[in-house]
Structure 1
Amino acid sequence: MMYTERMSRILKRAQRNDAVSLFQSILKEGAGVGAELASVLDGRLEGDWWQGIANSELDILRDAQQYMQRFNQVQLQEGHVIAAILDSGELDEVLSGSLRERIIQIACSPRDLTCDLNKLKLDVDNQHSYFVRKVVLQDQDKLLSWVQSQFGERWAVQVGRAFQEQKDPAVFVAWSGNDIVGFACYDVFEGGKGWFGPMGTVKNQRGKGVGRTLLHSTLCDMRRNGYHKATIKQAGPIEFYEKACKATIIPLDEE
């Protein structure tokens, strides 16, 4: 199983792989959704809240992997683990229904992030086994068919909007030979201006830098067109964006 860097730290810090130990370790992370959770739960969980909880031998990581696969991702992250912990019922006696829902909103749901384009050093080097370029009209049919087959109708409709509504479609595609291996776009999600996404990479090319190159190519185009910040809408792999473009989570009460 592959883990994000943050998840690897969480596992290393946890004394065991049970619900309580993993949840404690996530709250101690001090970054990402762990930091937000710790802030929200501060004062709501008493100091030794875990005392008296009977930890069973449930395989939290196995169940978390099922969440990872359900969302078509390849690295286990803390959101998957928290979803599995909540499903296990191990923390039911210390988490009220409203608090449980708040945790789901923070850690188990797609989140919006923001990125300061003025401070970002963008890398658009194309010296790779793949090549990233902005679309031309002739790419439309092949790209939309590929997006629908890989990511579904909803994303295909959003990408199609760029070809229909923009003179210069704000879509970048990664190619390996004549094959599409990824795409990224902006200003297509619900018509929002300055909104990055969606972005997707074929599963067998993830972890090879395709997503980062697509992201930087797209953000560079946004900056070139006068944007000073980008809002990354409904991001799943939060840690990827935090590392790749210094994005920060927008608190729920500001979304």
Structure 2
Amino acid sequence: MERDKTKCLSLMPEHLLIGCMDDGSFPVKEARVKSGIEVASLRNSINPEKETSCGVVSEPFHTHVTCSTKRVLDVSVSYMHSYKQVYLNEGHVIKALIKTGMTSGLLTQEQNKALMDIAVVSRDMLMDLSAYFTPDLPFRNIRKVVKKDTENLIRFIEGEFKGNWTDSIKISLSKTLIPIFIATDSSGSIVGFAAYNPNGHFGPMGVALNRRSEGIGQSLLHSCLGEMKVKGYREVIIDSAGPIEFYERTCNAEVVPVD
């Protein structure tokens, strides 16, 4: 749509930047406001005559993209893979645009920094449970952890996530009432987990890389939220949420604004 508006033959990095700025999540909008990024000015700065080469093909776009745009997309995908994610999001693209120098002349150093500090990083989120109800879960094999699951859960975390959450999960497993849910496959093997703690914080949560996009994370999240609601929690803090879009879409959580 942005390419059509500017009458360009190929999709340029500027179009990606405008797309992220104009239809972004709360952190992007917050960074825009705090740093004074104006979408209209970005759009007006595009000159179709800057296209110096014919476009190339790059999925999933049906239109051609410039070689510079292809480079940005490739770097974006590398960021996605480094975070062990399966969906490309605006954070990956914005970071790639800045790191490849494509925002030079479009944004100031202060604006680049605001995007990197506010829009690209993980952020804490807050969810109000007062009107919450648990929806139908797309993935059914969800249950609470029991003591006999300890060894398998630790092995799963160490194998899938390099043990990043092992210590915090061991603390949760030591409790009498373990605040952890797991997702299992047809053979009973663990394919995902989610935890919360008594002070009202949700997390961590992780799903096996080869089982993403099946609704497992969504189901684990709602299982925890449902139990927290029953236990009387009024709000939930989601620590260092990422990707933010998942929590905005799945449970209407809101990003905690930067002071």
TM over 0.5: yes
Indicate the residue corresponding to 1:82 in structure 2: 94
Matched, 1:92 2:104: yes
Matched, 1:104 2:116: yes
| Equivalent residue runs for 1:66-81 within 5 Å | 66-81=78-93
Change (3 A) 1:231 1:159: same
2:190 is equivalent to residue 175 of structure 1: no
Letter of the 1:157 counterpart: D
Cross-structure match for 2:244:
238
Length-normalised TM-score, structure 2: 0.81
Match of 2:216 among 175, 185, 210: 210
In structure 1, runs of 5+ residues without a counterpart are 1-8
Superimposed CA distance per residue, residues 41-62 of structure 1 (whole angstroms, 9 cap, x where no aligned partner): 33x5596356378677312111
1:48 aligns with 2:36: no
Output the amino acid matched with 1:38: R
Over 3 Å counting, the alpha-carbon distance change for 1:106 and 1:10 in structure 2 is farther
Offset of 1:91 from its aligned partner?
A: 1.5
Q: Report SS of the residue matched to 1:153.
A: coil
1:26 Cα deviation after fit: 1.4
Specify the alignment match of 1:116 in structure 2.
128
Separation in 1 of the partners of 2:27 and 2:224?
A: 25
Unaligned residue ranges in structure 2 (runs of 5+): 52-65
Deviations 1:7-54 (A, max 9, x none): xx9999997543211111211115433322332233x55963563786
Query: Secondary structure, in 3 states, of the residue corresponding to 2:168?
Result: helix
Rounded to whole Å, the distance in 2 between the matches of 1:70 and 1:20 is 24
Secondary structure (helix, strand or coil) at the match of 1:27 reads helix
- Give the aligned partner of residue 153 of structure 1: 163
Amino acid at match of 1:170: P
Tell me the residue number matched to 1:33: 27
Query: What is the SS of the residue equivalent to 1:154?
Result: coil
- Structure 2: distance between partners of 1:200 and 1:37: 28
Distance of 1:226 and 1:71 partners within structure 2? 34
Tell me how far apart the structure 2 counterparts of residues 168 and 33 of structure 1 sit (CA, whole Å).
36
Bigger CA radius of gyration = 2
| Cα pair distance change 1:10/1:207, threshold 3 Å | farther
Deviation string 1:213-247 (CA, Å, 9 cap, x unpaired) is: 10000011111222111111111121111111111
Residue identity (%): 30
Change (3 A) 1:46 1:234: closer
TM-score between the two structures when normalised by the length of structure 1: 0.83
Q: 1:181 to 1:246 in 2, by over 3 A?
A: same
The AA in structure 2 aligned to 1:93 is G
Tell me the equivalent position of 1:3.
Answer: none
Counterpart Cα distance in 2 of 1:227 and 1:46:
40
TM superposition shift of 1:64: 0.5
CA deviations 1:38-93 (Å, max 9, x no partner) are 32233x55963563786773121111101100000001000000011001112233
Measure, in 1, the Cα distance between the counterparts of 2:96 and 2:81: 13
- How much has 1:204 moved relative to structure 2? 1.9
**CA 10–31 in structure 1, closer or farther in 2 if over 3 Å, else same:** farther
Find 1:184's aligned residue among 190, 194, 216. Answer: 194
The one-letter code sitting in structure 1 at the alignment partner of 2:12 is: D
Alignment match, 2:199: 193
Read off the aligned partner of 2:33 and give its amino acid letter: S
Conserved in 1, the CA contact under 8 Å of 2:126 and 2:253? yes
Partner of 1:20: 14
* Number of aligned positions between the proteins: 237
